[in-house]
Amino acid sequence: MKNAARALAFLLQFATLGLAIAFVVTRLWPATAERLRGEAAPAPAAETPPTPPTAAAPTLSAAPTAGAGPVSYADAVARAAPAVVNIYANKVVTQRTVRVFPDPTLQRLFGALPGPVLRRREQSLGSGVIVSADGYVLTNYHVIAAADDIQILLYDGRVARALVVGSDEDTDLAVLKIDASNLPTITLDPAVQINVGDVVLAIGNPFGFGKTVTLGIVSALGRQLGQWAYEDFIQTDAAINAGNSGGALVNARGELIGINTANYREQGGDTYGGQRPIAEGIGFAIPVRAAKTVMDQIIAHGLVVRGWMGAEFGPVQVAAEAGLPAAARGAMVLEVYPGSHAAEAGMQPGDVLLRLDGQDILDAAELRTREAALAPGTRVHLSGLRAGQPVEFDLALVQRPSPNRMRIPSA
């Protein structure tokens, strides 16, 4: 009996030990039981990465765009740059010297005597744009003014001598002609769209460094500087330096939108720490539409045909003194040239012109543009005020003379 009890106790102890071992194994190695039974262990569930928080929708509605901007503007440069040339305008400058005696007594007796005349050659740098395969080049007048020899360096390294076809000082444009073959050209499309904020590239020859490209945007349209009679500039922050004048301002597709002409230089105003402020990022270009109009007339007539009354106009500075309401528009007569048709019609400085042929005059620039668009010989009727009293003028237009002569041409 005792032997049977011992055997039963031994079996119970062995079974308890086996169950304990099985419990530990199944807890530490869960797949062991399945492998012992010949079953495949289920694959552990893949952990799902946490979902990033959704960005809040912008509160401002995005304006439709033409697409993301390009990483490079190399295609636009490759399209436009070959038609941009470097211009080297040479002229002989004559200067008379003055002879001053070193002895004070002789200085008092004879003063300063005229010395020999010296001549030296000067060279101005600029740029130009080839606009036709037969060699017409558009540039600024101030680049080639008074030059007796003009050399043009082409994109491929060739050098050609240029002749002046004609120039227009009132818009600072000139047309040159070169005799060369296989010329790259750029199209003057007056329909090209220009908007504030457009990316633009200025291509030219700044400081004689050669073909240089600068990047910016259209900062403003319709700017006026008061330096030329007819101004409607594109303002840009693309760098325009000395030597860029006459070069190309193109858009991001390489289309010509303007002729680089000027940069802003502070002439006066407040000083900071005893120094005048220096303007940066303010350059100006003539829109392609205006440049093409001038170029076509120069090629066709050798000059730009414009109607002219014989007077100069400015803004209405003091409306109350002119008898006008504060918000009135118009143009004030600043100067009347003796013997001109405006003088013969009785126009006087201080007159305020309000209407031309029955249509309101917005300002002096608009009046000059409308005046220039009329052919010489056209009769016009103007109405306005003189010292607050109505006044009217009837006169015929003549061809506008060049600014440096301003002589009265025959009708």
Please give the average per-residue pLDDT across 7-27, as a whole number: 62
Please give the average per-residue pLDDT across 358-380, as a whole number: 91
**Which of 61-65, 174-178, 190-194 is predicted most confidently?**
174-178
Q: Where do the domains of the chain lie?
A: 75-178, 199-266+278-301, 307-399
383 catalytically annotated? no
Please give the average per-residue pLDDT across 339-358, as a whole number: 92
Q: Are strands 199-204 and 212-223 parallel, antiparallel or unpaired?
A: antiparallel
Report whether 147 contacts 89 (CB < 8 A). yes
User: Which of 346, 345, 353 lies closest to 316, judged by CA?
Assistant: 353
pLDDT at residue 366 is higher than 50:
yes
Percent of the chain with pLDDT over 90: 49
Per-residue pLDDT, 103: 67
The two tokens of residue 349 are 């400085």
The answer to whether the 199-266+278-301 and 307-399 domains have the same CATH topology is no
Provide CB contacts within 8 A for 193, sequence distance 6+: none
Instruction: Give the tens place of pLDDT for each residue, 309-341.
Output: 999 988 886 555 555 555 468 999 999 999 999
Strand partners, 62: none
Helix or strand run (H / E) with residue 369: helix 364-373
Report whether 86 contacts 211 (CB < 8 A). yes
The overall average pLDDT reported for the chain is: 80
The region of weakest confidence among 22-31, 140-149, 185-194, 253-262 is 22-31
Report whether 248 contacts 84 (CB < 8 A). yes
What is the C-alpha separation between 309 and 342, in angstroms, rounded? 5
Please give the average per-residue pLDDT across 283-308, as a whole number: 93
172 catalytically annotated? yes
Helix or strand run (H / E) with residue 366: helix 364-373
**Which of 51-55, 95-99, 312-316, 375-379 is predicted most confidently?**
375-379
The phi and psi torsions of 106 (rounded to 5 degrees) equal -65, -35
* More confident: 12 or 162: 162
What is the C-alpha separation between 245 and 96, in angstroms, rounded? 30
User: Which of 328, 53, 69 lies closest to 198, judged by CA?
Assistant: 69
The region of weakest confidence among 61-65, 145-149, 314-318, 393-397 is 61-65
> In 276-378, which ranges are E strands?
283-287, 307-308, 311-314, 331-336, 352-356, 359-360
Quote the distance between the C-alpha of residue 143 and its chain's center.
18
Per-residue pLDDT, 16: 67
Q: Which long-range contacts (CB under 8 A, 24 or more apart) does 301-305 make?
A: 301/166, 302/165, 302/166, 303/166, 303/168, 304/168, 304/170, 304/171, 305/375, 305/376, 305/399
Per-residue pLDDT, 268: 46
**Which of 26-35, 151-160, 276-285 is predicted most confidently?**
151-160
The region of weakest confidence among 20-24, 125-129, 335-339 is 20-24
Per-residue pLDDT, 64: 42
Please give the average per-residue pLDDT across 272-293, as a whole number: 77
Of the pLDDT bands very low, low, confident and very high (cuts 50, 70, 90), residue 26 is: low
Percent of the chain with pLDDT over 70: 68
Instruction: Give the tens place of pLDDT for each residue, 194-210.
Output: 999 999 999 998 888 88
Q: Domain 75-178 adopts which CATH fold?
A: Thrombin, subunit H (2.40.10)
Per-residue pLDDT, 280: 72
10 Å CB burial of residue 353 (0-12, 13-18, 19+) is: buried
Of the pLDDT bands very low, low, confident and very high (cuts 50, 70, 90), residue 61 is: very low
245 catalytically annotated? yes
Instruction: Give the tens place of pLDDT for each residue, 177-236.
Output: 999 999 999 999 999 999 999 999 999 988 888 889 999 999 999 898 878 888 889 999
Report whether 138 contacts 128 (CB < 8 A). yes
Per-residue pLDDT, 227: 82
Instruction: Give the tens place of pLDDT for each residue, 71-115.
Output: 789 999 999 999 999 999 987 656 666 666 676 776 666 666 666
Local structure of residue 35 (DSSP, 8 states): H
Per-residue pLDDT, 209: 83
What is the C-alpha separation between 18 and 33, in angstroms, rounded? 14
Burial 215-236 (b: 16+ CB within 10 A, else e): ebebbeeebeeeebbbbebbbb
Please give the average per-residue pLDDT across 116-135, as a whole number: 82
Burial 24-33 (b: 16+ CB within 10 A, else e): eeeeeeeeee
CATH of domain 307-399: 2.30.42.10
Cα maximum dimension of the chain: 164
Of the pLDDT bands very low, low, confident and very high (cuts 50, 70, 90), residue 43 is: very low
Of the pLDDT bands very low, low, confident and very high (cuts 50, 70, 90), residue 150 is: very high
pLDDT at residue 51 is higher than 70:
no
Q: Domain 199-266+278-301 adopts which CATH fold?
A: Thrombin, subunit H (2.40.10)
Could you give the residue ranges of the DSSP H alpha helices within 189-232? Answer: none
> In 232-323, which ranges are E strands?
233-236, 248-251, 256-263, 283-287, 307-308, 311-314
What is the C-alpha separation between 281 and 265, in angstroms, rounded? 11
pLDDT at residue 24 is higher than 80:
no
Per-residue pLDDT, 59: 37
* More confident: 143 or 5: 143
Out of 127, 172, 340, 341, pick the active-site residue: 172
Of the pLDDT bands very low, low, confident and very high (cuts 50, 70, 90), residue 67 is: low
Out of 127, 167, 219, 245, pick the active-site residue: 245
Out of 142, 167, 340, 341, pick the active-site residue: 142
